[in-house]
Amino acid sequence: MIRLEAVSFRYEEMKMLFDASFPKASITAVIGPSGGGKSTLLNLIAGFEQPLSGRVLIAGEDVTELPPDRRPVSMIFQDNNVFAHLDLRTNVALGISPGARLDRAQEKRVEQALAEVGLSALAHRKPGEVSGGERQRVAVARALVRDRPVLLLDEPFAALGPAQRRDMLDLLRAMQQARGLTVLMVTHQPEDAEYAASHTAYLENGRVAALRPTAELFAAADIPGLAAYLGDWRSKPL
Ligand code: ADP
Ligand code: MG
């Protein structure tokens, strides 16, 4: 479980205050208007940003003062996940140890992660020689070799077409189940949340305005701003 206890943060005039608990061992989607604080929320959990006040707890442990690499967290971004001059295997290995030589067991973990995301046959290629979806699989494999219980994804599949996105969501669900991961996934696609997330959080103006089982959240009529944000998405599939 991830808990933010009255976590405050500000960028200039934009003040944020997060107070929420995200369920353990499941996928929670994070939706809401641009500038609402979705990326900041993930950065506070990962430790890339420090709260002005409040506490961040992961599995009951206060991680507020811990640097990112000491938190039980991996993060995947929309882009900038791969190094163009390194082959896919090396990109994945960076998740374990930047620069250092891997031992036998670590090499095996890299091979397993490559196999799990379906990239074994392409492992010697450079990122420029594979598709966008395959590049995001590299980012997923790199997160897998780190073997952390919390996985944060910030609009990870936004640049992919619908079929590739669906494949990646299937992969994410399989990984979540196999490893019991606690996953937070920022997305602008309500159908991605519906497809993959047991719960969905709606963020607006630097706050978690609602966090409910996904179907309940999308059916809710009592959350100001949500209907305007979602619009008539069911009649206009993307
Ligand atoms: P979202 O991911 O929901 O679009 P963000 O968390 O990126 O929202 O941003 C929340 C608010 O913080 C926005 O008002 C944004 O302009 C501001 N912000 C984000 N990052 C920075 C930054 N590095 N410097 C200044 N303001 C920022
Ligand atoms: Mg963002």
Average pLDDT per 10 consecutive residues for the chain, totaling 238 residues: 97 95 98 96 97 97 96 88 92 86 92 94 96 91 93 91 90 94 95 96 97 96 92 71
| Residue 34 confidence (pLDDT) | 95
Question: How many other C-beta atoms are found inside a 10 Å radius of the C-beta of residue 153?
Answer: 26
pLDDT of residue 238: 54
Please work out whether the CB of residue 43 comes within 6 Å of at least one atom of ligand 1. Answer: no
Whole-prediction pTM: 0.93
Handedness of CA 167, 194, 40, 179 (dihedral sign): negative
pLDDT the model gives residue 65: 96
Distance of CA 227 to the CA centre of its chain: 24
| Euclidean distance between CA atoms 235 and 233, whole angstroms | 5
CB 175 within 8 A of CB 168: no
The pLDDT score that the predictor gives to residue 123 is 96
Ligand lying nearest the CA atom of residue 203: 1
pLDDT of residue 132: 87
Compute the radius of gyration of the chain from its Cα atoms: 18
For residues 112 and 146, what is the distance between their CA atoms, to the nearest angstrom? 12
Q: Tell me, using a 6 A CB cutoff, whether residue 40 lines ligand 1.
A: yes
Q: How far apart are CA 108 and CA 39, in angstroms?
A: 33
Coil, strand, or helix at residue 186?
Answer: strand
Ligand showing the shortest atom-to-Cα distance for residue 78: 2
Ligand 1 atom with least separation from CA of 34: 4
User: Does residue 78 have its Cβ closer than 6 Å to ligand 1?
Assistant: no
What is the per-residue pLDDT for 229? 94
pLDDT for res 79: 76
H-helix or E-strand spanning residue 224 = none
Q: Which candidate, 46, 43, 95, places its Cα nearest to that of 71?
A: 46
Atom 15, ligand 1: which residue's CA is nearest?
A: 35
- Find tokens 């967290």 and name the residue: 73
Q: What is the pLDDT of residue 236?
A: 63
Residue that has been written with the tokens 């594979």 in this structure: 130
